[in-house]
Amino acid sequence: MNQRRCQCGGAGFALCVADLIHRCPFGRIHGYPCAYAWQMSATLTQDLVAADISLSGVSRIYELGDEKIHALRDLTLDIRQGEFVAIKGPSGSGKSTLANVIGGLDTPNEGRIVVGGLDFSKANDKQLSHYRSKTIGFVFQSFNLQAHSTVLENVLLPLVIAGVDRKTRMARAKECLELMGLSDRADQATNKLSGGQRQRVSIARALANWPQIIIADEPTGNLDQANGQNVIEHLTKLNRELNITLILITHDADVANKAPRILEIVDGNVTDRKSA
């Protein structure tokens, strides 16, 4: 059986890379599996290369009758694997468009996007679908959960779609719920949860397929201040401890300032700066 020694700095635990749900007991950090165990699990479902994000001369133009809306204007930027970046701007500024083109949900009119070596302009539908389901985890303002399904069933859904076997997907879904502090809610219908709990379920679902990047679109938009703060703390901890790239879309300056780097968008133009 193929084994590698854990690099978590603990007691030299032998990590079996054939075990999708392995958790290193010596490398747990604040209740999370060690980053090395997480990354090794990910190698079993995708070719794990650094998912660096590169945009070159990207423009996105929408046509409304005779009017042309420039959502993005000749944008060039790079986001390294493991960065925490906030995309900030008023409604209609283009921030969601930027997230959508990075997430492979929208196609620019001009320019080139490369993520982890995948050139979107040269990728076929199958490759882009694989990218969206494996490399990216999406978290939405409106949660987008199955309201009458249980918490566990919601987290299982992307694993079922991906064809993961029942034993592995059950263990994986339960692990994601544990990461979000929701193990005791697994059998509860999501429509019985608070807004903050629902958003944590959506984060657990986003984690299910071992993503290297999480795109969170206004994740605190429907939450009160206390629940919003809790959600941001969970997301930043995932970024910090598991080296997951976190792209946080927000109109809230206080939320944006949680990120070390802020991309501020106004009328499709981007200013790249450090947070205050």
Q: Say if residue 28 is in the same domain as residue 140.
A: no
Asked whether residue 61 is assigned to any structural domain, the reply reads no
Q: What is the pLDDT of residue 61?
A: 94
Range ranked top by mean pLDDT from 218-227, 241-250, 265-274 = 241-250
With b for 16 or more beta-carbon neighbours within 10 A and e for fewer, the 178-212 pattern comes to bbbebeebbeebbeebeebbbbbbbbbbbbbbbbb
Segment 92-120 mean pLDDT? 93
pTM for this predicted structure = 0.78
Q: Say if residue 158 is in the same domain as residue 236.
A: yes
Query: What CATH number does the domain containing 263 carry?
Result: 3.40.50.300
Q: Predicted confidence band at 275 (pLDDT cuts at 50, 70, 90)?
A: low
Q: What is the pLDDT of residue 49?
A: 59
Please give the tally of structural domains in the chain: 2
Q: Say if residue 21 is in the same domain as residue 89.
A: no
Domain that holds residue 35: 3-42
Gap between the Cα atoms of 68 and 109, Å rounded: 12
Gap between the Cα atoms of 108 and 158, Å rounded: 27
Q: Say if residue 136 is in the same domain as residue 9.
A: no
Asked whether residue 34 is assigned to any structural domain, the reply reads yes
Q: For residues 169 and 160, is the Cβ–Cβ distance under 8 A?
A: yes
Asked whether residue 48 is assigned to any structural domain, the reply reads no
Cα→Cα distances 246→17, 136, 270, Å: 25, 10, 18
Q: What is the pLDDT of residue 38?
A: 47
Asked whether residue 12 is assigned to any structural domain, the reply reads yes
Q: Say if residue 201 is in the same domain as residue 262.
A: yes
Q: What is the pLDDT of residue 153?
A: 94
Specify the higher pLDDT residue, 20 or 69: 69
Q: For residues 270 and 75, is the Cβ–Cβ distance under 8 A?
A: yes
Q: Say if residue 18 is in the same domain as residue 91.
A: no
- Summarised one tens digit per residue, pLDDT across range 1-51 is 333 334 444 333 333 332 333 344 333 333 444 444 444 444 433 444 578
Q: What is the pLDDT of residue 242?
A: 85
With a pLDDT cut of 70, the percent of the chain lying above it is 82
Mean pLDDT is lowest, of 48-57, 60-69, 152-161, 199-208, for: 48-57
Q: Say if residue 165 is in the same domain as residue 99.
A: yes
The first and second tokens of residue 46, run together, are 């995708």
Rg (CA), the chain: 19
Q: Say if residue 36 is in the same domain as residue 129.
A: no
Residue with tokens 């409604």, as numbered in its chain: 91
Q: Say if residue 139 is in the same domain as residue 199.
A: yes
Q: Predicted confidence band at 222 (pLDDT cuts at 50, 70, 90)?
A: confident
Q: Say if residue 133 is in the same domain as residue 209.
A: yes
Gap between the Cα atoms of 258 and 250, Å rounded: 11
Gap between the Cα atoms of 86 and 71, Å rounded: 17
Segment 254-274 mean pLDDT? 88
Q: Say if residue 32 is in the same domain as residue 154.
A: no
Mean pLDDT is lowest, of 4-18, 188-202, 238-252, 253-267, for: 4-18
Q: Say if residue 127 is in the same domain as residue 259.
A: yes
Specify the higher pLDDT residue, 47 or 100: 100
